[in-house]
Amino acid sequence: MAAYRSAAGFQRVLLAFKHVCLKQRCGVIICRYSTVYDPNEKTFDKILIANRGEIACRVIKTCKKMGIKTVAVHSDVDSSAVHVKMADEAVCVGPAPTSKSYLNMDAIMNAVKQTGAQAVHPGYGFLSENKEFAKRLAAEGVTFIGPDTHAIQAMGDKIESKLIAKAAKVNTIPGFDGVVKDAEEAVKIAGEIGYPVMIKASAGGGGKGMRISWNDEETREGFRFSSQEAASSFGDDRLLIEKFIDNPRHIEIQVLADKHGNALWLNERECSIQRRNQKVVEEAPSTFLDPDTRRAMGEQAVSLAKAVKYSSAGTVEFLVDSQKNFYFLEMNTRLQVEHPITECITGLDLVHQMIRIAKGYKLQQKQSDIPINGWAIESRVYAEDPYKSFGLPSIGRLSQYQEPLNLPNVRVDSGIQEGSDISIYYDPMISKLVTYGKTREEALKKMEEALDNYVIRGVTHNIPLLREIIVHPRFVSGDISTKFLPEVYPDGFKGHMLTAGERRELLATAAALYVAAQLRSQKFLGDLRVSIVPAESRQWELCVELDKGVHMLGVSRAGNNYTVEIDGEKVEVSGEWNLASALLPITINGKHRNLQCLLRTAAGEITLQYLGTSFKLRVLSKLAAYLSKHMPEKIPEDTSSILRSPMPGSVVAVSVKPGDNVAEGQEICVIEAMKMQNSMTAAKTAKVKSVHCKAGDTVGEGDLLVELE
C-alpha cells in the first residue's frame, strides 16, 4: 500500500519556499511570461504530478501561481527529493525501480484516490504517453492533463502515426509501414529500402530502442538491441524500419490545441546536437529556417494535430535535409523536455496552457499572436562522463551544488539540490540550463558565462562538452546536423584543446593560486603563525607540470596581483583569491575569467576547471621538483587484457566463459544503464582467462568484468 504523508513541518516548508523562490525569480528574469493567471478562472483544486525530478518541480511552480494544490508521488529513494518538498502532499508509490514505482499504475491510482486529486499531470517519460493510464483515470472521473486516448494511441504508435501523417498530407520518410517480425525479416526489409536504415521502437521515444544500420550484420544486431531496449523501456518490443536520412537537422514544431478545434504552432526548436539519438543542446528559433519553411512546417504540424483531434501541448518532430526538405519523424503527445526555450521566445507558460485546455477552456491566442521574441538556448546538464561515448552515466551524491542564478537572463530547471543523490535507477539529468538574449550571439555569450559559473561536485558531469559545443565555430555559425558530435570529434571528445596563450594563462593561474595558498597557510586570523619566520617572500621559483610537460616559472607578488614569467613571457593575474569559494573569479592580462578549483593538495596537485574543462596540474617549489625526480612512478595497468565496466549499471548478458577464444571487437557482455544497453567488446584477440560477472549483477564504474590471457 502506498505510504501517504502531508507536507508538514517548518523545515520542509522553508526548503520548499526557498526552492520555489529561486525558480520563480529565474522564471521572471528570463521567460517574461505574457500569461495572465486569472484567479477567477476555475480549473482544479488539486493536481497530482505522476513524475519526479525537474519536470515535477516545473509543474508544481505553475500550479502554485494558479492557486492549485499539488500532490507529489515518489519512490522510497526519492523521499527527500526536491519535488516532494515543494508539493503540498506526498505519497510513496513503491521501491526505487521504475517498474515498481513511477510506472506502477495501481500505486499511482491509489495515490489519486487517497489524496482526492481531480487531475493528473504526467510530465514527460514514465506514463505520459500511456493510453491505459489515461483510460483508468477517465474511468475514475479524474482528468488526464494531456490529449485523449485516441491521440495518444494514434501518435504513440510510430507505424499508425506515419499512416495518419500521410493521410493528412504531411511529408513522411520512405520506409516499411508494418511491424518487423524478426531479425531476418529486418535484413530483408532493409535491403529493399536501401541502406542506411533506422531501426526504432514503435512505441519508443527519447532515443531508446533506436539503432542506425549500414549493413546486414548491423541490422541483425540493431534488431536485437532495439527490441530489448523497447521491451525494457516501454513494455512493447515492436519495431519499424525506415530510410535513414543522412546528415539531417532535427527540427521540431511545438503545437497547442484545445477541445474546440483550435490549434496553433508555437514556432520551432532546433534539436540537432545529439548523442545516441538523445538531444544535448537545443535552441529556438532555428538558424536554418526561413519564414516560408517555418510556416509550411507549422501548418503541417497543425494539420496532423487536427487529424487526430489533438487537445493539449504536443510536439511534431521533423528531419530537415540540406535543401530544406522536411519529413515527419514522430509526434510526442506530451510536454517536451526542451519546452522552456519555446516559453522564452513566445512568453507562454505551456503548463498553464495544458491545465486550461484539460479543463475545457478555449485557447486565448490566435496564430498571429504568437511571436518570436529574442533567442533562447538550452543545455542539458547530465551526470555523465563526456569523455566516454560523449556521455556515459555517472552516479554519486552532490557534495556541492550551486546554480548560476545570480546571472541575469538565466533559467535553471532542476529537481535536485546540494546533498541529492544521482542514482542508477533514473535518468542522469541534473538540470536544464537555459539562457536568453535579444540575439543568438547574446544568448550564446550568456550560456558560456552560465556554464563557467555552474558548480557541480560529487558526480562527473558533461559541462566540458556543453561549453565546447557552444563556442565551436561550426555551432556559432549555425552549420550543424545530427552528425555534429561525431564529425567534430571523430576520435571522441577530448576536452578543450589549449592554445599557447591559454596554456600560459592556466599555468600562471595555478602558480598564483599555489603561492596564495602558501601565504595563507602561514597566517592565522590575519597574523603570522610563528613570529620568528623571515619576512614574507615576494619572489618565487616554481615548477609546474601539465600534460607531461614541465615548465619553470618565476612569480612575483604585489598585494593580490601576481606577475608570472613563463618562457620569457609575462602574465598578469589578479583576484580576491578566496580559497574557500567554489568559484575563482580572476583577471588574466585584463581579461575576466571564472575558474573553479576542484582539487588542491599538500603535495602540490591542483585541478582547475578552465574554459569548461578540468585540467590536472602539479605545482612544486624548485627544490621539491628536483627531489621528486627520485620518486618511483606507478606502472599503468594493461587495459588490453582486462575489461572493466565504463559506467555503473546491470549486466544483461555475458557471451563468454573461461577458456573461450575471442576475436578483437567480439562482444563479451552487455551492460544496461538508464535503460540503454551497451555492448562491451574485446580489445584484442585472446583466450578468456576469467569471468567476474554474470547476468543480473549490478556493477560500478571500473569494476572488473573479464580478464584475457
Q: Which residues are catalytic?
A: 334
- HSE at residue 369, side-chain half, CA atoms within 13 A, is 10
Separation CA 76–CA 223 (nearest Å) = 35
Contacts of 78 (CB under 8 A, 6+ apart): 52, 84
Separation CA 345–CA 382 (nearest Å) = 24
Please, where are the H alpha helices in 431-472?
440-452, 463-471
Separation CA 660–CA 657 (nearest Å) = 6
Provide the sign of the torsion angle of the four alpha carbons 207, 123, 337, 298, taken in this order. Answer: positive
- HSE at residue 604, side-chain half, CA atoms within 13 A, is 17
Separation CA 153–CA 14 (nearest Å) = 42
Q: Rg of the chain's alpha carbons, rounded to an integer?
A: 27
Cell of residue 318, nine digits: 521533423
Q: Return the amino acid letter for 12.
A: R
Q: Which of 465, 482, 557 is nearest to 513 (CA)?
A: 557
Return phi, psi of residue 662, to 5°: -125, 150
Task: Give 350-375 as a 3 state SS string.
Answer: HHHHHHHHHHCCCCCCCHHHCCCCCE
Paired with 327 in beta bridges are 319
Q: Which residue has the cell 596537485?
A: 605
Separation CA 78–CA 75 (nearest Å) = 5
Separation CA 342–CA 55 (nearest Å) = 15
For residues 40-65, one letter each, b for 16 or more C-beta atoms within 10 angstroms of the residue's C-beta and e for the rest, the string is eeebbebbbbbbbbbbbbbbbbbbbb
Separation CA 209–CA 332 (nearest Å) = 16
Separation CA 623–CA 542 (nearest Å) = 9
Separation CA 324–CA 245 (nearest Å) = 13
Separation CA 180–CA 577 (nearest Å) = 63
In this structure, are residues 123 and 56 in contact, taking their beta carbons and an 8 Å threshold?
Answer: yes
Sheet of 642-644: strand order equals 642-644, 704-708, 686-691, 661-662
Residues 622/625/629/631 CA torsion (nearest 10 deg): 140
Separation CA 371–CA 678 (nearest Å) = 43
Which burial class, exposed, middle or buried, applies to 442 when counting CB atoms under 10 A from its CB (0-12, 13-18, 19+)? Answer: middle
Separation CA 425–CA 125 (nearest Å) = 14
Task: Give 490-532 as a 3 state SS string.
Answer: CCCCCCCCCCHHHHHHHHHHHHHHHHHHHHHHCEECCEECCCC
